[in-house]
C-alpha cells in the first residue's frame, strides 16, 4: 500500500469546504505495495485535535504508518504550503473522491461534517475512517474504540468512532481494575481544561485572566463559556439533558457501557466541571466492586498497564499524585491517590486521574487505532 496524509484545513466553516458531495462511481484505482505504505488523511488539521494528530503521526514516524503527505483544504487555503516531517505539501481542494483515495482518514472536524461525509468516504472501495466527533459513537454498528480495551472489534470495520476525551482517559485506569475486581457501579467527577472548548476557550481564559490581574476588569468577560472561567469553576459542559445531567456527563455513561460491553442500565454517573487550566483533564473516580479490593494490588496492576503511569506516593516530599501540570504533553495518563473507599468499604476503590485530553483523549487514541488496524491487516482495501 502507498502512504499519504490527507489534511483538510478548517479555516472556513464546515459548509465552506465546497459544494455538497455525492458518491460517484468514478473512483481512481489504488495501488498497494506493503503493510507500512498507507495513504493517511487528517481532516481538520488546523484545529486543536487535527494539529495534535499530525504531531502524533510525526512523533511516531518510526511506526511507518505514513510515507507521503497530501493536504486538502478549503478554497481559501488551496495552494498554500505546509512544512511537515513528511515534506513540504501543497494544500489541495478537498473532495470526496480525494478522501476515498486514501487508505485511512482521520476526521478532526465537527459532527455535522462527519455525518455528511464519513459514510461516503468509508463506503466500499474507499478509506477506513476514524472519526473524532460524537456523530457515530452511539451507532450500534460503529465500533467505539480504545485500542487497549476493545481494539479487537475493529477487524472488519470501515468506520470507527473515537471516544470522548474524559471517557478515554478514565477508562484507561478503570478497565484493568474492573477486570481484577469486577465493578458494580462507577461515580466520576471531572475537572476539565479550557482547551476542551478548543483554541477559543483557551484564548478566553488567557485574556480574561490578564484583564483581571492587571485590574482592567473585576470579572472577566465570557463568550464561549456560560460564565467567566478565570478564578472560577463552572459545573456545566455541553447542553443540559431532561434528566438534569449535561450531555458531556451522559457521554461518560453511554460510552463506558458501550466500550466495556456493559448492560444498557449499568450504573455510571458523572459530574463534569470546567476549570481554569489550559490543558489536561483530571477525574475523581469511585468504583464499587464485586470482589474485595486491595489498594496495593490495584497499584501493581496499574503500574504494569500500558498507557498508564502510576504517580502515587503521598509520603514523598513533595507528595506525588497526578496533576494537569505533570500530565500535559504525555502519551500516558497518570493515576494516583489510590485508596479503599470509605463509602463502599472493602468493596470500593477511589482514585485520581489526569491525562492530556488532546493526546490520549483524542489524537493519540485515534492514531493507535490506525496502527492496530494496520498491524492486523484491517486497512486492506474493501
Question: What is the tens place of the pLDDT at every residue in 124-141?
Answer: 999 999 999 999 999 999
Question: pLDDT band for position 74 (50/70/90)?
Answer: low
Question: Is 236 labeled as catalytic in the residue annotation?
Answer: no
Cell of 265: 442500565
* Catalytic pick among 102, 260, 270, 281: 281
The pLDDT-based confidence of 226 (bands split at 50, 70, 90) is very high
| Residue 166 CB partners (closer than 8 Å, separation 6+) | 188, 190, 192, 248, 251, 252, 270, 272, 281, 283, 357, 361
Q: Hey, is 5 helix, strand or coil?
A: strand
Percentage of the chain lying above the pLDDT 90 cut: 70
Q: Which pLDDT does position 1 carry in this prediction? A: 41
The mean pLDDT of 259-274, rounded to a whole number, is 98
Q: What is the mean pLDDT of residues 84-97?
A: 82
Taking the CA of residue 277 as centre, how many other CA atoms within 13 Å lie in the half-sphere pointing to its CB?
A: 21
pLDDT value at 73 more than 80: no
- Range 35-47 average pLDDT: 77
List the single range of 82-91, 291-300, 366-375 with lowest mean pLDDT: 82-91
- Strands 345-355, 333-341: pairing is antiparallel
**Mean pLDDT taken over the chain:** 88
Above pLDDT 70, what percent of the chain?
89
Say whether pLDDT at 199 is over 90.
Answer: no
Please determine, for residue 381, whether its predicted confidence score (pLDDT) is greater than 60.
Answer: no
Active site residue 152: no
* pLDDT tens sequence across 272-321: 999 999 999 999 999 999 999 999 999 999 999 999 999 999 999 999 99
Residue 108 CA to residue 94 CA, distance in Å, equals 14
- pLDDT: is 28 or 356 the higher one? 356
Burial class (CB in 10 A: 0-12, 13-18, 19+), 262: middle
Residue 99 CB coordination number (10 Å): 26
- Region of poorest pLDDT, from 1-5, 11-15, 48-52, 207-211: 11-15
Q: How confident is the model over 6-25, as pLDDT tens digits?
A: 544 443 333 333 333 333 33
Q: Can you spell out the DSSP letters for 116-170? A: HHHHHHHSTTS-EEEE-SSTTTT-TTS-B--HHHHGGGGTT-SEEEPPPHHHHHH
- Note the pTM of the prediction, 2 decimals: 0.88
- The rounded distance, in Å, linking the Cα atoms of 98 and 41 is 10
* Over residues 173-193, mean pLDDT: 98
Q: Which of 139, 152, 165, 222 is catalytic?
A: 165
With 80 as the cut, is the pLDDT of residue 75 above it? Answer: no
pLDDT top residue among 83 and 144 = 144
Amino acid at each position: 500500500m502507498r502512504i499519504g496524509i490527507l489534511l483538510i484545513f478548517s479555516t472556513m466553516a464546515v459548509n465552506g469546504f465546497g459544494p455538497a458531495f455525492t458518491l460517484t462511481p468514478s473512483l481512481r484505482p489504488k495501488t498497494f505495495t506493503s503493510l507500512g505504505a498507507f495513504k493517511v488523511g487528517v481532516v481538520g488539521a488546523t484545529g486543536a485535535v487535527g494539529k495534535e494528530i499530525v504531531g502524533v503521526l510525526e512523533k511516531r514516524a518510526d511506526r511507518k504508518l505514513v510515507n507521503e503527505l497530501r493536504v486538502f483544504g478549503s478554497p481559501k487555503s488551496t495552494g498554500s504550503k505546509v512544512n511537515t516531517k513528511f515534506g513540504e505539501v501543497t494544500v489541495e481542494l478537498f473532495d470526496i473522491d480525494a478522501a476515498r483515495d486514501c487508505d485511512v482518514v482521520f476526521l478532526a472536524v465537527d459532527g455535522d461534517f462527519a455525518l455528511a461525509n464519513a459514510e461516503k468516504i468509508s463506503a466500499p472501495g474507499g478509506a477506513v475512517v476514524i472519526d473524532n466527533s460524537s456523530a457515530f459513537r452511539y451507532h450500534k454498528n460503529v465500533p467505539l474504540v480504545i485500542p487497549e480495551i476493545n481494539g479487537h472489534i475493529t477487524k472488519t470495520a470501515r468506520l470507527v468512532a473515537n471516544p470522548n476525551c474524559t471517557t478515554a482517559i478514565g477508562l484507561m485506569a478503570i478497565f484493568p481494575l474492573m477486570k481484577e475486581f469486577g465493578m458494580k457501579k462507577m461515580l466520576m467527577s471531572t475537572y476539565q481544561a479550557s482547551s476542551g472548548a478548543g483554541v477559543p476557550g483557551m484564548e478566553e481564559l488567557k485574556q480574561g485572566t490578564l484583564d483581571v490581574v492587571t485590574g482592567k476588569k473585576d470579572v472577566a468577560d465570557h463568550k464561549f463559556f456560560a460564565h467567566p472561567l478565570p478564578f472560577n469553576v463552572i459545573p456545566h459542559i455541553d447542553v443540559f439533558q431532561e434528566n438534569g445531567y449535561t450531555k458531556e456527563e451522559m457521554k461518560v455513561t453511554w460510552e463506558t457501557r458501550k466500550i466495556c460491553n456493559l448492560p444498557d442500565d449499568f450504573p455510571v454517573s458523572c459530574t463534569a466541571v470546567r476549570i481554569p487550566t489550559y490543558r489536561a483533564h483530571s477525574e475523581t473516580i469511585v468504583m464499587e466492586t464485586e470482589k474485595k479490593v486491595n489498594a496495593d494490588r490495584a497499584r501493581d496492576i496499574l503500574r504494569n498497564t500500558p498507557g498508564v503511569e502510576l504517580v502515587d506516593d503521598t509520603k514523598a516530599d513533595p507528595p506525588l499524585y497526578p496533576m494537569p501540570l505533570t500530565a500535559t504533553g504525555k502519551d500516558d495518563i497518570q493515576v494516583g491517590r489510590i485508596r479503599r473507599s470509605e463509602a463502599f468499604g472493602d468493596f470500593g476503590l477511589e482514585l485520581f486521574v489526569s491525562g492530556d485530553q488532546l493526546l490520549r483523549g483524542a489524537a493519540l487514541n485515534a492514531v493507535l487505532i490506525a496502527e492496530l488496524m494496520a498491524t492486523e491487516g484491517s486497512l486492506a482495501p474493501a
